[in-house]
Structure formats: C-alpha cells, structure tokens
Structure 1
C-alpha cells in the first residue's frame, strides 16, 4: 500500500513524524506499506532546515511544492494545482493529511477529485468559530475524508453528529504527543536560559499570534500591561514572530522583565515550557503539550477546539478580555491551579495504532 503524507506548516511535521516512524517499523516487520512525504511549502520557516528534520528524526520531504505566500485563496489554489501534478506523477492509494492548515484542506479536496482516498489525522476537532481559517479547513477536510483518526471522544461525537458512520471513525490518540514524549529526553537548553539566569518555575513563557490579540494595537498593549503587572516580578520569555514584534514596538510595549526573543527550535522551546511557572498563549497545540507536561496554561481565546485540555488538563480558557488576566495570575500564585489528569490514549503510541489500522483497511 502506497501512502502520501502531507505537511504544510511547522506543527504538521511534529504530527507526521511518528507516523513516518511507525510506517518504517511496520514495513520492516513485513507489512506492505510505504510513504511519500510532501511538503507543500505553505509556511517558510528558517528553522525548518536540516536541523529540524534531524531533531524529529525524519527524512527530508520527497518533494516541496513551494506554494507559500499570497492570500488564502491564492495559496489554496497554488497548493491544489501543484498537488494535482504531484499525484498525477506519483499515484497513491491513500493521502494522509494532518491538522487544520490550508494545505490539509487543499490536498484533501484535490485527492478526492482525483478519486484517491483521504485519511485525516486529528479529525473532528471543532471550535465553532467560523472567523478562524482553521475551522473552515477542518469542516471542509472532514466533509471529504474517508477515514477519521481522532484525538478524543469529543471529536468522535462531533463527527457522529455531522453524519459520519462509526466504522469510519478511529479513536487513536494524539500524534503530537507521540512526538513530545519521544523527544522529551532530548530537550535542549536554549542560550537564553543562561543569558537571563532563568530558574525552574520562576519565569513565564508567552506566545501570541492570533489576529484577535495582536492586530488591535491598543488591546495588545492592554493585554501585555496586564500580564507584566500581574506576574510578580518574574521574567516573561516571549519567542515572538517578527510581525508581532513590529506591532509591539509600534505601541511602545517594553519592560525590563519582558524578553522578546527569536522563535526557538522545537527542542529549545519545549525545554522552556517544561520548566516554566506557567504558559500564556493563544495557540491550540501548546495547550496539549502543557497538559501532558503538567504546566499551568492560560489561553487568551474565547473558544478552543481542544476542550479536553480544559476538562482534563492544565489549561484554562481566559477569553480575550485583558481584565481576566489578574484573577488567573492570583489563582496561579496562590497555588490553587488545577493539576490536570491523564488524557485517554495520549500515551505516545498513537501513530502505531494508526498504521496498524491502515494495514488492514480495504482500499479497493
């Protein structure tokens, strides 16, 4: 069986790395399964060089479609046109897409139009917020998917509620956590650790990138002021995208304890997260990682597609009102933040379960 695996953005590679490892292991055991890895080029990341693939212990992609840049529509069109040519040149039995980026949706639609079956890893998650491009990508992808690999019972119920038959839904766990648990012993201390004289549980990690938080300058300034004023003299380490850094500079956000640094590698960033007092973020994936590592997490969003990180994990949804930060910080420093629990099947064996299922599916 031939599979084509799609990745378009940095988090996608963390999700597909364990699938590649599991396919290689299954192939060595005598199973008839192989893969072709396609990077759509949706996001250019200077840190996604040879070192990145070496860190995740995966080979360089077989092809890069180089479809980055442009508007959402332009990027979608470029990916679809180039992936169609890729499939014509290299037919496959199954296209595997992961997550919820534009590449996920564009390649799923293209594959189906070429009568190639699609498996969606991380299917069924929903924020119910149609202002998020990712939510549209999830809905469209799941509407043309054949096989649904899910991370939670909530995702299963979302799919059933939309009419997906149970025999096409496979609750397998979270491949992002496979990578986290595999790489955790290899986390690397970043240079910023010694430079700032950081100490375990005596600093915060921050990430902000969503337009609702960073594009409204006055709101961003108010958010940052609240975080700085209520973090009890602890350092705030903020790996920041250059675009966000420019906005912060425009609104005059600066403080001796606020350290805006270049984006870090996967192993360096998670070294900081694992040892942080808490994380303040508007990312979805980071809430999963903090939950598994037992690190308190404050999410500056009004909704989440990962509710299990709240009901079972260490994450709290604060919303986007800056006034919500002070009571959350008081709760954290009072030592009453929730500890979190084990999330079912987030055990590092998700990719093995996926590949075991793939080897017994009928693709005729």
Structure 2
C-alpha cells in the first residue's frame, strides 16, 4: 500500500507541485491529492507511474510512515531569499539523510552529542567556552568536520540539486545535524560548519527566526572558534598586508578574506587598512575563490561506516538497497564528504553547478 507521507516526501524532494507531478505521471491532480491524504489508493499501474516520475524505487513509496522535519526546526540562511520549492527540496533531502544516518547508526557506535546551550553568552565568549570544554588546540581547529563528528554532530552534504540553499542545521530527536554545501572551497566549507555550530550553540534553544543579527552572531562565533583571539593577537599581523595575510592563512586553515575580517574585528586592521586589503585580495582572486587553498575535509563517520559494509558492497549500494533509494540519490548526501580516490568508494567527482551563493 502506498504510504501518503512518503509520496509527499518524494514529490517535495523533486521540487514538484502536484500539478507538475500530475503531468509527468499522467495522473489527475485530484487523484494525487487523494493519494497524499490517504483517502484513495493508486492502482498498481499508477503506483509505477508515480515511482518512475519521481525517480524513486516503488518500494520507497511503500515503506513505513515518515515524519516531516518542521520548517521552523531548520536554520536556513537567508530563508526569505530561497524559493519555496528549493527550500522544500532541501528539507526533504534532509529527511532522507536522517534515514541514512539511522542506517549508519546501526552499523557503528556514534558519540553522544556534546553541544552545550550557550544562548546567554555573547558569540566570542561562547566560542571560548566551547574551546575550553572541548580542549581545543591554541591555534584553531585542525579538522572541523572530524571535530563535529567526535562531539556527536551528524554531518552530511546539501544535495547538489539544492545548491541554491547554503549550509543549514537542526536538531532531530536531540541529535544535532549540519548540512554543508561542499561545492565551495574547503576554507568556506569549514567556516560554514563553524557558523552552523554557532547556531546550534547560540540559537537552538530559543530557535529565533533567521535574521541579520543571528547571522552576524553565528559568523562572529565561527571567527572566534577558528581564529582564537589570543592566537590572532600574538601572531604579529597588526597592519598586515594582503601578501602577509595570504601567507599566514594556512595557520588557521581559513580563507584570506576571513582572516582579514578577523584582524579588522580585533582592531589589528584599521577601517582604511581593511578596505585596502580587501581590494587587493579581490584583485588577486581571493574573493571568489581560494588559490592554492587547503585540501577538503572528509567525514570519518561515513568512511568508517563504509569500511563496515561487506567487502564487495559499497556503502551507497548497500544503503540504497536497504533504504529503497537509488544509488544516485544516496550519493548526493555523502560524495562531497568522501575522498575522491577512496579505495573502498571510487567515484567520479560531481560536476560543479554554477552557484548563486546566499549572503
């Protein structure tokens, strides 16, 4: 029997309205509404039509009931600028990733979440408090994704067909999740991960609507976490030139622009000096990219789960079979977090779409 919640999940995952799915599947809009409401069952032929139109195995539509992630539970950046269809696509993709997370949980031990609620602290203090609690090294964070996973935060990719959506985060059954747009530079992805951690630490309990103030707070938290005040002040970067900043960014594994902003934030660059540095960095290509940047970080949790599968079966093949999804669908949540030449999961790097990054 068709599961109504799965039909709606699959339709939203593909970014389709009922009218659009009606045309693709050759089924009336009235019937689709009845299917989603659970007041009518499709014929076997119509069920196959739906599965084909949605590019989902028929078995997926027949699985157990699924709860929808409430929109208010998710920290979407610049929510008002995201088309409703793309927002629902990303939210539905997140729900499928929860299924994959549960599948992984059954195969390896996951650390219990250790993300404190520091809503009453200012971002700089919250970052320093977290650094002390997690006993982080003086100069920053060596591997942001590994750090999150060691503290029980589940990390997945924002699906490539949702590239208009930036990184986002939410709690599900008391477990924190962060989704990263891995088509960006490694430095930007690290900062996004720290930014989303900032939302989990500063805003999860109250869950305020995303607005410029909360975004600035999360940015300030990320800067303070990745580039600790004491380390920056002791670095000798007062009035640093663009060349000096470029040469120093690898110490904290951040972008040149992020380091320049942090220096300005800590009054090590004057307003005029900061503007001049930004102009020069942009001229050198550091506004749109990160020439000779760091290597991408990978998910230890996913890599270890991959090793736990049968030797002749890859993670996505086994997971796709168990979760009744296509291999292509499963890859969208993990490929950007795996080494491209992984011995146990060879893959072709996904074609990078043209991004329209949200502020």
TM-score by length of 1: 0.24
The structure richer in strand per residue is 1
Q: Which entry has the higher C-alpha Rg, 1 or 2? A: 2
Q: TM-score, normalised by structure 2?
A: 0.25
- Structure with greater helix percent: 2
